[in-house]
Amino acid sequence: MALNNLILIFILISFGLFFYKYFFIFLKKYNLKILIDDEFNKPQAFHEFPASTSGGLGLFLSFLILNLYFFFNDIIFYEYLSFCTLFFILGISDDLKLYLKPKLRLILMIIFLISLILLNKFYIQNTGIGFLNRFLEIDIFALFFVCLCFLFIINGSNLIDGYNGLLGIHTLIILTNLFFINYLGGNEDLSFLIIFSILSLGVFLIFNFPKASIFLGDSGSYFLGSFIAISVIKTSIDNPSISPFYFCILLFYLFFEVFFSFIRKILKEKKSPLFPDNKHLHMLIYKKLLNKNKNKLKSNYYVSIILNLTYIILILPAIFMKEDGMFCKYYSIVLFISYLFSYKILKEKI
């Protein structure tokens, strides 16, 4: 088994390095206008030249290689294969410039989620809140709740994508936490899936941080968002001694970025929450840095460093107290307040 693992590691690294280095060259050589981001006027855009958005495709193909390996070892991760594949396809439709209106995309997301959850019987079993757990015994509410969680995480991943290494490193931190929880908890199959996925993501980051020649695209952000959501739910189910609020802490940035943006656009700015803008926390940090050093690239990857280092520092206390439900519950509230306070300070200084 150890030899097989080493062979798999070699295959994943070799494939990733080859794909990310030569696929974009191949597209340019044959003048193929696919998986290329050349829209510079989007609110979240910072690059000035066409860039490849094939990062999601590379991660997905690595994911298929990984699942093929597990298949030959009589292990099939049905939830991962179904959720990640369908949301990857939804994301790559935009990368291929088959543009879907925001409302239609949201409707498709909901339809996909309802179908996948019912098909896989994939539900959240414990929220850490008594009355909410009782509601989860009602099928329609349980379906609504898990759909909502997926929507927050997948759209949160999409919102913070676009800055060098921001989503990739953030995902790396979350998955590393989940790996150690599962490995120390004796859940070897899931821990191996996660650690090999971390390896694939690490190869991608070589080409995405600090300078980026490859971006994730919507396919990559949707894929990573669905992978994170499934991993967190499965880890929570398989490790009942860990407080559900600890997983809320791990996901607080992805979750609250979407939640706060939704409320801000509706109540304060009186506009549709489905359309992008340039007022997210990471964008305010970027503007502040750019005003200071006048260097777009440096400001860009500094955003990732600042936010992810801050995130690591903030979740450290919870890592050591992850089995203490009361601590995690109140600490998650502290993190949400910290986000609001940071956003207010930045907004006033720009």
Q: What is the mean pLDDT of residues 334-341?
A: 93
d(CA 248, CA 229): 11
Q: What is the pTM of this model?
A: 0.94
Q: Is the Cβ–Cβ distance between 169 and 176 less than 8 Å?
A: no
Angstrom CA distances, 178 to 165, 172, 191, 256, stand at: 20, 10, 8, 20
Q: Confidence class of residue 39 from pLDDT cuts 50, 70 and 90?
A: low
Percent pLDDT > 70 in the chain is 95
Domain boundaries, the chain: 2-31+52-349
pLDDT for 40? 52
d(CA 122, CA 234): 9
Q: Give the DSSP H or E segment for 51.
A: strand 51-52
pLDDT for 36? 74
Is the model's pLDDT at 94 over the cut of 90? no
pLDDT for 38? 60
Best CA proximity match to 182, nearest among 238, 113, 136: 238
Is the model's pLDDT at 289 over the cut of 90? yes
Phi (first) and psi of residue 52, to 5 degrees:
-80, 135
pLDDT in tens, 56-67: 999 999 999 999
Is the model's pLDDT at 48 over the cut of 60? no
pLDDT for 87? 97
Among the ranges 18-32, 59-73, 335-349, which has the highest mean pLDDT value?
59-73
Q: Confidence class of residue 286 from pLDDT cuts 50, 70 and 90?
A: very high
pLDDT for 25? 81
β-pairing, 51-52 vs 36-37, is antiparallel
CB-based burial of residue 272 (10 Å sphere; 0-12 exposed, 13-18 middle, 19+ buried)?
exposed
d(CA 24, CA 214): 8
pLDDT for 296? 87
Long-range contacts, stretch 280-284, CB < 8 angstroms, 24+ apart:
280/159, 280/160, 281/257, 281/307, 281/339, 281/342, 281/343, 281/346, 282/160, 282/163, 282/166, 282/307, 283/43, 283/44, 284/343, 284/346, 284/347, 284/350
Best CA proximity match to 166, nearest among 60, 46, 70: 46
Q: How far is CA 104 from the centre of its chain?
A: 21
pLDDT for 325? 93
Is the model's pLDDT at 44 over the cut of 60? no
pLDDT in tens, 206-259: 999 998 889 999 999 999 999 999 999 999 999 999 999 999 999 999 999 999
pLDDT in tens, 175-203: 999 999 999 999 999 999 999 999 999 99
CB-based burial of residue 144 (10 Å sphere; 0-12 exposed, 13-18 middle, 19+ buried)?
middle
Is the model's pLDDT at 104 over the cut of 90? yes
User: Tokens 């757990």 correspond to what residue?
Assistant: 133
d(CA 236, CA 295): 42
Q: What does pLDDT average to over the chain? A: 91
pLDDT for 188? 92
Tokens of 278: 């340039």
CB-CB neighbours of 167 under 10 Å: 30
Is the model's pLDDT at 42 over the cut of 90? no
Q: Confidence class of residue 269 from pLDDT cuts 50, 70 and 90?
A: confident
Is the model's pLDDT at 5 over the cut of 90? no
Is the model's pLDDT at 348 over the cut of 90? no
Percent pLDDT > 90 in the chain is 73
pLDDT for 45? 54
pLDDT for 41? 56
d(CA 229, CA 250): 11
pLDDT in tens, 307-321: 999 999 999 999 999
Tokens of 269: 């700015």
Q: What is the mean pLDDT of residues 261-283?
A: 87
Q: Confidence class of residue 270 from pLDDT cuts 50, 70 and 90?
A: confident
Higher pLDDT, 42 or 258: 258
Q: Is the Cβ–Cβ distance between 60 and 66 less than 8 Å?
A: no
β partners of residue 51: 37
